[in-house]
Structure 1
């Protein structure tokens, strides 16, 4: 990957997550600044009018705390999605919003369900299970990192706290798992280092020759070279004196 391609790739990884988060904050600012309440555009289960919330609900939040707790993991997880699974990132985002929203519409309580938390659970679930299915140590490491950062979110897929759409969280978790199975063959192939290549022979590695099997450094003493005799230049002066 040359410099131009690397810059384009890095820009894409950062640009889309930042744009998504920026749109969410702009909508929230518009509500606060002009006194609107877009909660009615959330998902209202088992009603035809509530179907519009499948599209609009991820962009609507009820408070500054709500939007803050959603946008931070949304930014981190979407950036990881575009970095490791760029070829299917847009499919995961769009289908994740649609399918998790529809499942919420099917199983949710008769109330407005708003926020991007359903999509966040899609990304958490997909990233974790995809790394496990890929059986690649870097992607597994990413899965473990997701568990470390957001593993406690699993509790909110159950009705343990009033006022939280556990139905949306559960729908996102199920959707992400389905995506990990469906896109199982679309496994990212990170660039392999030299020692990961199948034809690699550590006996030919000049660096490893400086270490023994226990990892101890071996000092290699170069054989002494015979010192060359310095060249001597003789200067003959003509003796012009008379004897």
Structure 2
């Protein structure tokens, strides 16, 4: 057994929450909110939007070469295109109609958390794309971000009810006030508009909200 030499030094104390810039609350676990803020979320979603504008510019220059990457119903070999279709549009007018809802609803969804954003996004894209692929008219091609936008809308409208969270319910009320009229898009009322993609997006967003926020913790009442 070796014996240390030299003057004795007391062991270094573990860093306290206050030393790390955090305020301790005796008797409670320390929680750090790592959800993306509004500015970071805005620029993250905005970068996706900039990519879509770039792709539409390329599509126009190449004479619509990217339009074939939309969803073609019941063609097995084109099933993976459910992941490319949300980022493509049939002209700048089509893209412009999706720009504001995409930016606002995407930013709000991103602010829910990174995991929540990716689950809601992938669920909306997959369910919207699959429903479009299954029931759209033969020979049609569907593209556009509206299925994803409807998915984010469904997620934001229902997550508060599943979580029983007053703040999220108030956000849902505001979202409904601004974008609730979009819900008519799930009905086959306008020719050339893919109600199938809209309906699938809503279902995907609701599924994500249920999976992420249903009240597994059984505390009764609203928070």
Tell me if both proteins adopt one fold, taking TM over 0.5 as the criterion.
Answer: yes
Instruction: Pick from 75, 81, 102 the counterpart of residue 74 of structure 1.
Output: 102
* Conserved? CA contact 1:17–1:79, under 8 Å: yes
How do 1:148-227 and structure 2 match up within 5 A? 148-185=177-214
Counterpart in the other structure of 2:50? 22
Aligned mates of 1:37, 1:148 — CA distance in 2: 38
Unaligned runs of 5+ in 2: 1-19, 22-31, 217-222
Displacement of 1:107: 1.8
TM-score by length of structure 1 reads: 0.70
Question: Kindly tell me: are residues 176 and 95 of structure 1, through their superposed partners in 2, closer, same or farther at Cα, counting changes over 3 Å?
Answer: closer
Question: Kindly tell me: are residues 26 and 186 of structure 1, through their superposed partners in 2, closer, same or farther at Cα, counting changes over 3 Å?
Answer: farther
* Conserved? CA contact 2:120–2:204, under 8 Å: no
| CA RMSD, Structure 1 to Structure 2 (Å) | 2.6
Runs of 4 or more consecutive aligned structure 1 residues displaced over 4 Å after TM superposition:
5-8
Question: Kindly tell me: are residues 179 and 22 of structure 1, through their superposed partners in 2, closer, same or farther at Cα, counting changes over 3 Å?
Answer: same
* Conserved? CA contact 1:50–1:105, under 8 Å: no
Counterpart in the other structure of 2:28? none
How do 1:227-242 and structure 2 match up within 5 A? none
* Conserved? CA contact 2:124–2:202, under 8 Å: no
Counterpart in the other structure of 2:154? 125
Larger Rg: 1
Instruction: Pick from 68, 73, 88 the counterpart of residue 60 of structure 1.
Output: 88
- Structure of greater relative contact order (alpha carbons < 8 Å, 6+ residues apart): 2
Aligned length: 187
TM-score by length of structure 2 reads: 0.75
